[in-house]
Amino acid sequence: MSRSALFDGVFGDGRHPFRLRIGELEELQEKCDAGPEEIYWRLQTGAWRVADIRETLRLGLIGGGLTPTPALVLVNRYAGEGWLAEWKALAANIIAAALFGAPDEDKPAPAPGEAEGETATSPDEKSGSPTSTQTGPSFS
């Protein structure tokens, strides 16, 4: 099962679907001169830039199904001067959904034969070689 990274949020005139797919994330990087995780960090720490919020909203609306012109109209109308900080949390949630999955998405099911919470055998366990935490012979 793949994750859609679709985030449903309230913006401006109502509820809208937002999604940052690879193409939108690449454009966001170009517009903000930073990768998505750095933009997310800037939004979380208050070090954000105008484009971090406006471009995340615009591209998220486009990824959610809105065409570019109506997306830009909404951003210009509701995320203009005096309103930017109001949308900081929404922008962070949109990026978080792209990076980590939307909050309401199901997590991937365990692989066949694995119980919930179990992980596959590590390469170290399969190799028979000592792991870095095992002590070697003493040379005293």
Please tell me the distance from the alpha carbon of residue 45 to that of residue 117, in angstroms, as a whole number. 32
pLDDT tens for 93-126 read 999 999 998 766 555 555 556 554 444 444 444 4
pLDDT tens for 46-101 read 999 999 999 999 999 999 999 999 999 999 999 988 889 999 999 999 999 999 98
36 with 29: CB under 8 angstroms?
yes
The answer to pTM > 0.75 is no
Q: Where are the domains of the chain?
A: 10-100
Question: What is the pLDDT at residue 17?
Answer: 97
